Amino acid sequence: MTDHAIPAEDALEGKPVSASRTTLSHIMTAAETNLLGTVHGGVIMKLVDDVAGAVAGRHSGGPAVTASMDEMVFMEPVRVGDLVHVRAQCNWTGRTSMEIGVRVLAERWNESTPPTRVGSAYLVFAAVDADGKPRPVPPVILETEKDRRRNQEAQIRRQHRLARRRAIKELREKRIAEGLDDDL
């Protein structure tokens, strides 16, 4: 998916970061554990995708689909009885896509201690119309220095994604030309 400039007459009015910032909270139960007795990473990833999807839909004003997950970092295990807070915001927008940053925090459900950061992720969402075709998204209006930093970091991640895709495409084309295509 490419993001090209939108003609001025078609430009959407921007939305501030705070307009779509969202938090989802969930108490972890025994049904969500892995074989080690901690919460399964896939459960956390689902919460991350859910909250990021809500932010993307709110920011774009309609349906948005997960295009990629740039990075998912697990810093600490999550345990049964933890109250998990998954916080997300729109860091960057292109013409039809958005990067959503997510922070995962956990605290004991029955204690009043501050939450601990247990994970983070960056996801790219594409806004789609009723036919599943890409549609324009409003630009994100950065409100704080943290928002500006996150936006700059999102642009670096985007440049890296595009460069990685180009390099892989070139390598595959070269291997095919050399008769070395391995179907993966």
Tens of pLDDT, residue by residue over 65-87, are: 999 998 899 999 999 999 999 99
Task: Check whether 184 has a pLDDT greater than 70.
Answer: no
Helices (H), 12-87: 41-60
Tens of pLDDT, residue by residue over 140-169, are: 999 999 999 999 999 999 999 999 999 999
Q: How far apart are CA 71 and CA 23, in angstroms?
A: 19
Task: Check whether 4 has a pLDDT greater than 70.
Answer: no
Residue 179's pLDDT is 84
Tens of pLDDT, residue by residue over 130-141, are: 999 999 999 999
**pTM value surpassing 0.95:** no
Residue 183's pLDDT is 63
Q: How far apart are CA 4 and CA 10, in angstroms?
A: 12
Tens of pLDDT, residue by residue over 33-44, are: 999 999 999 999
Residue 6's pLDDT is 46
CA nearest to 60, candidates 86, 102, 99, 25? 99
**In the structure, what pLDDT confidence band is assigned to residue 9 with cuts at 50, 70 and 90?**
very low
Report, in angstroms and rounded to the nearest whole number, the Rg of the chain calculated over CA atoms: 19
Q: Which residues of 133-160 are buried (b: 16+ CB within 10 A; e: fewer)?
A: ebbbbbbbebeeeebeebbeebeebbee
**In the structure, what pLDDT confidence band is assigned to residue 53 with cuts at 50, 70 and 90?**
very high
> Residue 179: how many CB atoms within 10 A of its CB?
6
| One-letter identity of residue 90 | C
